[in-house]
């Protein structure tokens, strides 16, 4: 089903771009991606977009942002600003989900299971930092529609 | 491989320079090494374990290597790495930061073509194409890559020096109510809101409106 949620992608992008080099430099693991391997988000059917977006927002709010504190207050401020944007977007998507407009197909459930498996393959801090460093993968996919 | 203990200083500033997704790896020679340094290059797709050697950039003495072909899938992200050799010794592998072709490329200005009547000028803009391996390969406009792509257009009245700015989504613009027999100069820029990417402004294209009938 379809949901229309307004959120400032440009603001989130700007926030992430400002800390991208810092965050990605904290992730030394080249051989594993949380979001894009083995299956790319770009291969998902469009009917599953809404559900996987809702699941990913929940994933970032519940499992990523809270484990990404750094010793750099500038970076922390940017992270919390991005987190707030995700929080409000997730709230709107949840309302949509409750109105059965954002149903999950088999493919998105499988994809999300893979993402969680990738995440749980690392310790929490490494997994959270890697996930945050992959935010542009999520944003690129969201903007592609 | 049977490399000696690597005591050579490292290549410096290893980074991608990308224009319209023509992605070229660049670096600076190790400090204090004169001529004779050779390099080899490898790259990796982020999230996949394997480093892949680039044969065309093996034992090269230049300090760049075109990896456009290897990094053409802009739904992936990449790392690249360089190692230096001199007189039987070598440096460490020196890596780039994570390279995202979609957000880390620069975009050329659009092509601008202008025509005029006595009281208006018509402007047609063409976005650059994504880099492609060969002329025979299918062209992909950057408009397809960045759905939110817009054009900022500047129109200058050469006589009065008055300038107008327009921001348009489609690629044609007609500027009406102009003065006959007057020179106008047009320049345009590509603007992508997210990811934030702006081209430079194109060079000016000047045209004179027809004289009054």
- CB–CB contacts below 8 A, A to B: 56
Do B126 and B183 fall within a single domain? yes
Last-in-domain residue among B87, B104, B121:
B104
Task: Please give the Cα distance from B171 to A103 (Å, whole number).
Answer: 38
Give yes or no: residues B157 and B192 share one domain. yes
* CB distance A66 to A99 below 8 Å: no
Per DSSP, the three-state class of A97 is: helix
A96 half-sphere exposure, CB direction, 13 A CA radius: 21
**Are the Cβ atoms of B195 and A17 closer than 8 angstroms?**
yes
Distance from CA of A77 to the nearest CA of B (A): 20
Q: How confident is the model at residue A40 (pLDDT cuts 50, 70, 90)?
A: confident
Whether residue A63 has pLDDT greater than 90: yes
Q: Looking at the structure, tell me whether residues B199 and B143 fall in a common domain.
A: yes
Q: What is the CATH number of the domain that holds B145?
A: 2.60.40.10
The domain locations on chain A are 9-143
User: A33–B47: do the CB atoms touch at under 8 Å?
Assistant: yes
What is the C-alpha to C-alpha distance for residues A21 and A35, in angstroms, rounded to an integer? 18
- What pLDDT digit, counting tens, does each position of B7-24 carry? 999 999 999 999 999 999
pLDDT in tens, B69-80: 999 999 999 999
> Do B90 and B157 share a domain, yes or no?
no
Domain that holds residue B117: 111-208
Residues B75 and B150 occupy one common structural domain: no
Closest CA to B44 of B78, B15, B94, B18: B78
Q: Does residue B1 lie within any of the structural domains?
A: no
Structural domains in chain B (count): 2
Is residue B140 in a domain? yes
Identify the bridge partners of residue B157 per DSSP, sorted by sequence position: B184
B124 and B74 in a common domain = no
**Same structural domain, B18 and B44:** yes
| Residues 168-187 of chain B whose Cβ lies under 8 A from any Cβ of chain A | none
Rounded to whole angstroms, the Cα distance separating B74 from B78 reads: 10
Mean pLDDT of A96-103: 75
The whole-number pLDDT of residue B3 equals: 52
- Inform me whether the pLDDT recorded for A86 exceeds 70: yes
Per-residue pLDDT, A2: 60
Task: Fold for A9-143, please state it.
Answer: Growth Hormone; Chain: A; (1.20.1250)
- Quick one: average pLDDT of A19-30? 96
The answer to whether the Cα torsion of A130, A132, A133, A135 is positive or negative is: positive
- Residue ranges of chain B with pLDDT lower than 50? 1
Do the domain assignments include residue B89?
Answer: yes
Residues B119 and B55 in one domain: no
B143 vs A: CB within 8 A: no
| Residue A7: predicted pLDDT | 80
Measured CA to CA, the distance from residue A66 to residue A60 in angstroms comes to: 9
Residues B59 and B141 in one domain: no
pLDDT (mean) for A77-104: 86
Q: Which of residues 9-28 of A touch B (CB under 8 A)?
A: 9-10, 13-14, 17, 21, 24-25
Among B104, B139, B159, identify where a domain stops. B104
Q: Are A15 and A145 in contact (CB under 8 A)?
A: no
Closest chain A CA to residue B48: A31
Residue where a domain stops, chosen among B104, B126, B149: B104
Mutate to test the interface with B, among A121, A140, A142 (most CBs of B within 10 A): A140
Q: Is residue B2 part of a domain?
A: no
Residues B115 and B30 in one domain: no
Q: Indicate whether B94 belongs to any domain.
A: yes
Q: A47 pLDDT exceeds 90?
A: no
Domain shared by B62 and B25, yes or no: yes
Residue of chain B nearest A12, judged by CA positions: B194
Q: Do B132 and B92 share a domain, yes or no?
A: no
């Amino acid at each position: 089903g379809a949901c229309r949620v307004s959120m400032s992608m440009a603001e989130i992008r700007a926030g992430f771009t400002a800390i991208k080099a810092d965050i990605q430099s904290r992730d030394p693991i080249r051989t594993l991606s949380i979001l894009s391997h083995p299956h790319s988000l770009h291969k998902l059917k469009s009917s599953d977009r809404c559900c996987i977006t809702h699941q990913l927002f929940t994933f970032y709010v519940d499992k990523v942002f809270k484990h990404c504190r750094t010793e750099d207050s500038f970076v922390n401020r940017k992270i919390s600003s991005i987190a707030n944007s995700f929080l409000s977007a997730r709230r709107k998507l949840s309302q949509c989900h409750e109105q059965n407009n954002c149903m999950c197909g088999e493919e998105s459930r499988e994809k999300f299971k893979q993402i969680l498996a990738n995440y749980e393959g690392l310790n929490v801090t490494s997994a959270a930092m890697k996930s945050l460093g992959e935010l542009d993968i999520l944003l690129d996919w969201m903007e592609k529609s | 491989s049977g490399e000696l203990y690597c005591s050579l200083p490292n290549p410096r500033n290893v980074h991608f320079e990308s224009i319209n997704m023509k992605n070229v790896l660049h670096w600076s020679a190790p400090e204090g090494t004169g001529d004779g340094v050779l390099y080899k290059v490898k790259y990796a797709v982020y999230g996949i374990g394997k480093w892949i050697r680039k044969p065309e950039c093996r034992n090269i003495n230049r300090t760049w290597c075109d990896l456009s072909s290897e990094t053409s899938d802009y739904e992936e992200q990449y790392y690249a790495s360089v190692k230096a050799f001199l007189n039987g010794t070598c440096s460490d592998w020196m890596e780039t930061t994570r390279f995202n072709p979609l957000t880390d490329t620069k975009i050329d200005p659009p092509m601008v073509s202008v025509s005029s009547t006595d009281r208006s000028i018509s402007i047609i803009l063409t976005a650059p194409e994504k880099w492609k391996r060969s002329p025979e390969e299918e062209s992909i406009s950057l408009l397809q890559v960045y759905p939110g792509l817009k054009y900022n257009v500047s129109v200058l009245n050469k006589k009065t020096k008055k300038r107008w700015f327009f921001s348009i989504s489609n690629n044609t613009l007609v500027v009406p109510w102009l003065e006959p027999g007057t020179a106008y100069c047009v320049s345009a820029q590509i603007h992508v809101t997210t990811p934030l990417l702006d081209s430079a402004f194109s060079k000016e294209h000047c045209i004179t409106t027809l004289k009054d009938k």
